[in-house]
């Protein structure tokens, strides 16, 4: 199973819209007769690729697969039926499929007389597809809120200047994180004030070929010439102030699994108050301003015992010397919704 997980996480495999899956086929004597992984939407699934490698050796073999074989016909046929047709005797599954459109493969295999076990290295398998799994279980995308701040919690100086709060290495690091998500979101206020293009760019400031969906949240009309509406990437304007409604729309209507929240303090506060921030990435600069815009808006918290508490899961220094930021990776100390 660890080999199957390594295959699933092969470099270059897209994180979305499909889950990453690995499969290993074993003969009765433990010999590997085939292995494969899903390369992305529209390509053969991991089980099908492993069966192709194995050929006739798949008959009587054990399939070790990181995700329950699919039970539906999409761009490809159902993997559960492919395993049955190939004569596989036993299937060991790490994670049950949380997607109701594709689940049920385990029951199909059992009905066909195959031996089936599930639950081996489940946590590790879920981590391979963290956002995808979360989205299907919760009916909304996983939300990462990113912001840059000075040591005293300011995201911009009192004159509005803010670009220099985060260092160049931190901004480059942000683009790497953006590229892991399928959606980037800001509010109408940020579009009006900063006119961001909201694209993923390389170290030479060139847009990458595959861009996340750009989302603007808010009711107000915006000028068509704003850069977020250019042809560099698709854009959706969600005319709502309700974070829960916005996320459900992105999941149900746009098949989105991971939102990278980059709006200003007002939008951040709305998501925090709604309890739909699942991860926080904070770039802390070794600067003091004493005044200026806060990193987050009013949360309605008046007492320290009501503070929204975060657990630090990782700390990394990005850059060197005066051009360094500390990147904190945090998660709210609450149960997932």
Task: Enumerate the domain spans of the chain.
Answer: 2-128, 134-332
In this prediction, the residues of the chain whose per-residue pLDDT falls under 50 are 335-337
The verdict on whether 35 is a catalytic residue reads no
Q: What is the pLDDT of residues 51-97, one digit of tens each?
A: 999 999 999 999 999 999 999 877 778 999 999 999 999 999 999 99
Query: What pLDDT, on a 0 to 100 scale, did the predictor assign at position 162?
Result: 64
Tokens 């992984």, residue located:
37
Homologous superfamily of the 2-128 domain (CATH): Cytidine Deaminase, domain 2 (3.40.140.10)
Q: Which CATH class is domain 134-332?
A: alpha beta
| Kind plus residue range of the DSSP H or E element containing 172 | helix 168-178
Task: Please give the Cα distance from 36 to 22 (Å, whole number).
Answer: 6
In total, the chain counts a number of residues equal to 337
Burial class (CB in 10 A: 0-12, 13-18, 19+), 217: buried
Task: Please give the Cα distance from 72 to 22 (Å, whole number).
Answer: 18
SS3 243: helix
Query: What pLDDT, on a 0 to 100 scale, did the predictor assign at position 337?
Result: 40
Same fold: 2-128 with 134-332: no
pTM score over 0.85: yes
**Residue in 35, 47, 262, 279 annotated catalytic:** 47
- φ/ψ of 299, rounded to 5, equals -110, 0
The number of beta carbons lying within 10 Å of the beta carbon of residue 176 is: 11
């Amino acid at each position: 199973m660890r080999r199957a997980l390594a295959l699933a996480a092969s470099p270059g495999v897209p994180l979305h819209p499909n889950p990453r899956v690995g499969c290993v086929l074993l003969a009765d004597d433990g010999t590997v007769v085939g292995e494969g992984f899903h390369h992305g939407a529209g390509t053969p699934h991991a089980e099908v690729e492993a069966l192709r490698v194995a050929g006739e050796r798949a008959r009587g073999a054990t399939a070790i697969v990181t995700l329950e074989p699919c039970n539906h016909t999409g761009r490809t046929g159902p993997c559960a039926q492919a395993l049955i047709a190939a004569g596989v005797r036993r299937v060991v599954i790490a994670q049950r499929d949380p997607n109701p459109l594709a689940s049920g493969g385990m029951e199909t295999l059992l009905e066909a007389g195959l031996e089936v076990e599930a639950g081996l290295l489940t946590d590790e398998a879920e981590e391979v597809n963290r956002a995808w799994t979360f989205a299907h279980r919760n009916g909304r995308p996983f939300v990462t809120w990113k912001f840059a701040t000075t040591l005293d919690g300011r995201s911009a100086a009192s004159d509005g200047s803010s670009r220099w709060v985060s260092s160049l290495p931190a901004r480059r690091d942000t683009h790497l994180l953006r590229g892991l998500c399928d959606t980037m979101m800001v509010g109408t206020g940020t579009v009006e004030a900063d006119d961001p293009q909201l694209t993923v760019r390389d170290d030479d400031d060139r847009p990458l070929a595959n861009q996340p969906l750009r989302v603007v949240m808010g009711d107000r009309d915006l000028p068509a010439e704003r850069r977020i509406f250019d042809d560099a990437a698709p854009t959706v304007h969600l005319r709502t102030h309700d974070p829960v409604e916005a996320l459900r729309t992105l999941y149900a209507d746009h098949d989105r699994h991971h939102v990278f929240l980059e709006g200003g303090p007002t939008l951040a506060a709305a998501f925090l108050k709604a309890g739909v921030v699942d991860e926080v990435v904070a770039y802390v600069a070794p600067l003091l301003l004493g005044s200026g815009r806060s990193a987050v808006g009013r949360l309605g918290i008046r007492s320290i015992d009501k503070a929204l508490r975060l657990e630090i899961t990782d700390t990394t220094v990005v850059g060197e010397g005066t051009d360094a930021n500390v990147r904190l990776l945090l998660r709210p100390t609450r149960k997932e919704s």
